[in-house]
Chain A
């Protein structure tokens, strides 16, 4: 017998490890709409299997709760059962010796409080409140409900123009989204059950890059109805596009000199080249939409005047007002907001940062856009200052990593305290208070708290504040449009209560969000405005979707998009990301599991041919 031994995992242990990874991926691919009580019961079984068996509450209690959950699911329970589940779970939580027990109990309690109504439905009606409304996970999670399996199948066959036409049925920004969409569609891709999600945005980009100019469908016969759209961003233009296709006369009022909204004035061109954005805008305008640029509501024309001239109005003004940090010295020269900086860049006004030390405050995607733009504007150094940890940044991981690769600094766990300025009032340094990461908040994110360390001085020539945007709401509020917590108070239908004929959607209703959510809001508004005007037009497309292949789908790695080398791309505003090769696109498209057909898709909700 040796005194010590090197531990080598046995086969069973290795297989279990791989099963853990399978399960993790499987949970990722869990579709929305599953019975939460059933899922809670399943999770609890797993938790119970993890118990070491030493302590009573965990060894026995979790099993008993599990049995009670089964009683609820099988219709053997009464309302008192919920009380017994809760009481037992509380005891396990309070008396279990280790996290295996008390955290399992916490999961049960979360469920009882979070979906208690479903417990009651099971007990009283022997049925579940939930169901799979949209069984195709990518489509379910795309705010605009783009037919993703459809266009991937078309991409696999090289039918790129058809793919663009199919995308445009639900989203008139195929190119912009191909380049900058945050792709919520990929989150629960069923392919995760096998290996990794499909690179949906990458495939969309391949399609958009290779489709050429694709004509828009013909507009329906003119209805004689006139709709004004306030704001020429993704939301406003989406509504304009569909309303024009429905035969309505559409006029877009844009405050700035160019269309595109945040796609132009928020996203730098190294991510979305202007000429590529223009492809989408040109297609949208080819439906006959009239555009009035440089027109500000409340100044050049009032909302009241618009209501007199049009049958209906859609407010899609986005979120273009800057937010202040609220610290001393913020009014110093050289302190600019992200909105201001990116707006200038959007109009082609490129400030010269050569030789300057730049500090960016914030950790979101806009902060990254500013950070990386500053680098491209010639800054000597760019430092991104953030209150929490790098992993807590809301920016996409690839954006943060990209900025770092380009030589930008992430200075995390530092809270801005004061901006120091020189005698001439120019910003000279940002004073920050070091933080320590601390307890987890209700939103599940860890909060920072002040560390017992002295303040630090970060010398700089400019401070760019990127901590969020607000809504320029005054001219609408004055007219009486209801405002709640700084945003327009519109309904899910995008209508506004007691304001017949005025609709609103996108960032100005939800607060700053994503392009695809604004597009979805524009689509919703178009449908409901059409109904409001007394019509029931269908938006449809006559693209035949290829039949699914029966081939086996063995595990295969995901094709990720590459970028131009950091030391090259950091010097210009040219497109940064590289598209797939044909070989890569075909392989990636063939990975799609066609959930529109296989599984529930062939039965219900696999394809929405019109809306």
Chain B
């Protein structure tokens, strides 16, 4: 243990504790901006600087550890002046258009500046110009970037894609797409982790809320909305509602209040995905000569983009089953349209996703199997949903709970856990077991898949054979797994990968809490919903059964193939940069 004094308070902490954490342990919350634990500890913003007795220069509290006998001042006149000046300097290059910014109220820069009581700026403002396509699902506003470098670090260290890099030197140093590329030509997975780790509004998703409002306002259009599993865990985080009140029922009521004609659940489509993907897996197992293993899940578009850019030779290993979002769109504009006797083209399909890559997925050229321009017309993130709720001045806490609409609103516990890493694996195994043996497993038999982070593997008995499956979330982990596979060190049969750490619960479209990773706690809510579900198996979802009996026939039927499967080779993904080994001499 190390003893020191911080602002005259005696502190005793373990060795190698940072000054920031030591201060925190006694209730002194030193402000910081660029710091991101374990990811970005580069002391760039100099907002967390403190004075150490005996040292002339100030030191950042975030990346310096305590020493025995250290005397630290976090608010000496010197520190106060430096902290304030450094924030003023940042603001001189920031557009400060807070009133028109998605991060207003949840912006770390705004908070630090407000906390410091900065009311006027002594410096001339020199704000960089934003040059970025408004069409790309990911938007970067140079006028808001404070060059904290977090986006670079999260993409390098966690997602292993190195999409961002420092650009230029000297006073014009900024952040941009690496290797002098344009974002549209880069191998960005669109996971959105750079967005959720940006302290300001410099990175965000393309805002599509107006498209939704336009559709809602059009009397000739039937608006159908689907809500992804993970959205229900996070939609109320920035609304004035207690977590226990933020139920699925209130979410349905809120969406209805916004004006959607039909409020459905992506969970339904998740069950459908399991029917198709589980059957596909079984097909592979039964005909090992016709297929080569492993089979990869394909429901995460970030992962699909990653695979197609980093390991294009493995594209054929992706399950041909569409993601739940796209299955939903295909069903909504065929089966459902028929049920209500509507023209498919009159149906406007909105999906609410914890994800940025879904915006790209719905716009893929071959996601139009219903004769309409697109099966899913628009995707908004959880954050955009929250913005819509707020702009509609709806108070969900005052709404009574309502049910989702039928028939695309019914789901099983297997469908809802899609929102957590390992969920697709577990749900698929529950049904594959049934399809193979004709009887249900114990519902929690495949609970090994409930990993919280990283990657895991397991051997599974099916039809008297042992199959090896693996799960990974976070693209860095995915890469580690893929390297093992491509080097032939490990052979798997079925692999589930989610681009975002922790799966969709930690998705790049979820609400942002600076410095906190909430995937695990959100996933807990999904597992609770599963536990409390009357139906725990996708194949027991009555609406799914009815749809197969009356519309699709059987899983993998001709019609199912037409509507629910896709060709992953039908579109191109920018390939990864052939990087010269960084350590060249």
Residue pairs across A and B with CB atoms within 8 Å: the count is 66
Q: Nearest CB to that of A128 among chain B residues?
A: B168
Q: How far is the CA of A372 from the CA of B473 in the complex (A)?
A: 67
Contact check, B168 vs A144: say whether CB atoms are below 8 A apart: no
Q: Which B residues lie within 8 Å of A6 (CB)?
A: none
A35 at the interface (CB under 8 A from B): yes
> Smallest CB-CB separation from B59: which chain A residue?
A550
On whether the beta carbons of B165 and A131 are closer than 8 Å, the reply is yes
> Which of A34, A126, A143 meets B585, CB within 8 Å?
A143
A604 contacts the other chain (Cβ, under 8 Å)? yes
In chain B, positions 132-180 with a C-beta closer than 8 Å to chain A are 149, 165-172, 176, 180
Query: In the complex, A523→B585 CA distance in Å?
Result: 9
Query: Which residues of B (527-585) have their CB < 8 Å from a CB of A?
Result: 581-583, 585
Is A132 on the interface with B (CB-CB < 8 A)?
Answer: yes
Q: Counting CB contacts under 8 A, is A344 at the interface?
A: no
Is residue A568 within 8 Å, beta carbon to beta carbon, of the partner chain?
no
> How far, in angstroms, from A604 to B169 measured CA to CA in the complex?
14
Q: Which residues of B contact A524 (CB under 8 A)?
A: 585
Query: A126 with B57: in contact, given A38-B171, A550-B52, A603-B42 (CB under 8 Å)?
Result: no
**How far does the Cβ of B385 sit from chain A's closest Cβ, in whole Å?**
35
Q: Is the interface of A mostly helix, strand, loop or mixed?
A: loop
User: How far, in angstroms, from A604 to B129 measured CA to CA in the complex?
Assistant: 26
Q: In whole angstroms, how far apart are the Cα atoms of A602 and B582 in the complex?
A: 16
Residues of A within 8 A of B52 (CB): 550
Q: Are A131 and B585 in contact (CB under 8 A)?
A: no
B42 in contact with A33 (CB, 8 Å): no
Q: Scoring A residues 528 to 558 as 1 if CB is less than 8 Å from chain B, else 0, what string do you get?
A: 0000000000000000000100111000000
Choose from A127, A129, A550 the contact partner of B64 (Cβ within 8 Å).
Answer: A550
What is the CA–CA distance of A230 and B168 in the complex, to the nearest angstrom? Answer: 43
State which residues 582-611 of A face B: CB under 8 Å. 602-605, 608, 611
Within 8 Å of chain B (Cβ to Cβ): is A145? yes
Candidates B42, B131, B585; contact of A520 at CB < 8 Å: B585
Point out the residue from B129, B166, B180, B585 that lies within 8 Å of A144, measured CB to CB.
B585
Interface size bracket, B side: 20 to 34
- For B56-84 the 0/1 string (1 means CB < 8 A from A) is 11010001110000000000000000000
> Are B129 and A75 touching (Cβ within 8 A)?
yes
Interface string of A109-142 (1 = CB under 8 A from B): 0000000000001000111111111000000000
A39, A133, A520, A602, most chain B CB atoms within 10 A = A602
Chain B interface SS verdict (over half): loop
Q: Which of A39, A73, A552, A611 contacts B583 (CB 8 A)?
A: A611
Greatest chain A CB density within 10 A among B55, B131, B172, B176 is at B172
B550 to chain A, nearest CB (A): 55
Minimum CB distance partner of B64 in chain A = A550
Interface presence of B517 (CB below 8 A): no
Give A211 to B585 CA distance when docked, in angstroms.
27
**Measured between alpha carbons, how far is A552 from B51 in the docked complex, in Å?**
13
- Chain A residue numbers with a CB within 8 Å of B167 are 127-128, 131
CA distance A550 to B18 in the complex (A): 13
Q: How far is the CB of A540 from chain B (nearest CB, A)?
A: 12
A317 to B169, CA, bound (A): 41
Asked whether, in the complex, the Cβ of B169 is within 8 Å of the Cβ of A128, the reply is yes
- Could you tell me if B172 and A128 are in contact, using CB atoms closer than 8 angstroms? yes
Please list the 9 inter-chain residue pairs (A to B) with the smallest Cβ-Cβ separation, ordered nearest first: A128-B168, A603-B42, A552-B56, A35-B169, A38-B170, A611-B583, A34-B169, A602-B42, A608-B583
27 pairs, CB–CB < 8 Å, chain A vs chain B: A33-B169, A35-B170, A35-B172, A38-B170, A73-B172, A121-B180, A125-B180, A127-B167, A127-B176, A129-B180, A131-B168, A133-B582, A145-B583, A145-B585, A524-B585, A550-B52, A550-B55, A550-B59, A551-B55, A552-B55, A552-B56, A602-B41, A602-B42, A602-B43, A603-B44, A611-B581, A611-B583
A33-B169, A38-B168, A603-B42 known, 15 other contacts, Cβ within 8 Å? A35-B168, A35-B169, A121-B180, A125-B180, A127-B167, A127-B176, A128-B172, A131-B169, A145-B583, A524-B585, A547-B65, A550-B55, A550-B59, A550-B64, A602-B41
